[in-house]
Amino acid sequence: MERRTVLIVLFDGVLSLDFTGPLEVFAGAAGAVPGAYDIRTGSLDGSPVRTSSGLSVTPDLALSDASAPHTLIVPGGEGTRAIDPGVVAWLRENAQAARRLVSVCTGAYALAAAGLLDGRRVTTHWALWEGLAERFPAVEVDPGPIYIRDGPVSTSAGVTSGIDLALALVEEDLGRDVALTVARFLVVFLRRPGNQRQFSVQLAAQSAQRRPLRDIQQYIAEHPDADLSVSALAERANLSPRHFARAFREEIGTSPGRYVDQVRLEVARRLLEDTGYGIEEVSRACGYGTPEAMRRAFVRDLGTAPAEYRRRFHP
C-alpha cells in the first residue's frame, strides 16, 4: 500500500481547528489502515507558532526540511491576512510538487498569494470571499459550496468544512468504508457533499422584519408537506397573494416559491441522511408528492438522484 505523506503548514495566527480537524481525520484513517498516512506539521523555520486563540504549537519540522508531500494542507486564520512572505515564497517554490494541494478557510489567501489558484474555481469562508476575489481577480471564487475540488487543488470553506474535505480525500484514497469509520469515530454524523451550501436555508436567508412573514418562514420549515403555494401562504399571512409575494421577496431576498423549494430540498436531504425512510415516504413528507418530483429537484439542484445521494451520504 502507498504510504501518503500529509504535510500541514503552520504559521502564527493559524486557526487551530482549521488544521487539527483535517489532522484528526487523516490520523483516524491511519489508525484504521496502518501505514496509510505519514502526517507532519511544519512552520517556516521549525519554531513553535501561536494560534489565533493563543495556543502554542510545536511543529514537527521546518518547511525547508520537508520532502515533497502527497497532500499539502494550508489552513486559515487571522495569520493569513498578513502571512509571512517567507511562507508564501516557500509555497510558490514547493507547493506544486505535492500531488494534492489543499486549503482550509482563508488558507486560500496564502495559496492565491503564491499564484497557485490562478484560473481555478475555489471557495473560502463566506464572510471573506469578497476580499479574496478582489485581491486576486485571476481566481474564480464561489462562496457557496463547503468545498470545491478543481483538479489537484481543493479548497474548503470555514473551519469545520476542512473536516468534510479531508473525509472526501480519505474516501478517494482508501474507500468509502474507511471514511465512514473515521466520521463515526469523530462523531461527525454524516459526510456533507462538497456542493452543500455553507448555510442551511434558514441561516442563509434574511429574517423577515414583519412578524407575519417571520411566522410564515417558521411555518414553511415546520410543515414542508403542507400546501405552500403563494395563495395559501398569503392567506395565512392575511395578505393578498401579490402583496405577499412582493413583501416576501423584499424582506427575505428570494421568492416564496424558491424559498419553499430550498426548504423542501434541505429537509429531504436530512431525511435521506439521517433516517431509513423510503424514497416515496420522504417525497411525501417533504411535500413533493411523488418520487419523480423529488428526483427532478435533486437532479436540478444537486446533480444526483435521491437514491444515489442516500447511498453516498447515509452512514
Reading the block at residue 55, the C-alpha cell is 495556543
| 105 part of the active site | yes
Count the neighbouring beta carbons within 10 Å of the beta carbon of residue 185: 14
Identify whether the C-beta of residue 149 lies closer than 8 Å to the C-beta of residue 194.
Answer: yes
Helix H or strand E encompassing 49: strand 49-50
- Is 177 buried (19+), middle (13-18) or exposed (0-12) by CB count in 10 A? exposed
Instruction: Give Cα 129 distance to the centre of its chain.
Output: 13
> Which secondary structure element, helix H or strand E, spans residue 8, and what is its range?
strand 4-9
Cβ atoms of 15 and 109 closer than 8 Å: no
Phi-psi region of 190 (alpha: psi -120 to 50; beta: other; left: phi over 0): beta
CA angle 250, 253, 258 (to 5 degrees): 115
Cα 135 from chain centroid? 22
Say which residue the cell 441561516 belongs to.
203
Which cell goes with 230? 403563494
**Candidates 72, 105, 157, 178; catalytic one:** 105
Just list the catalytic residues: 105
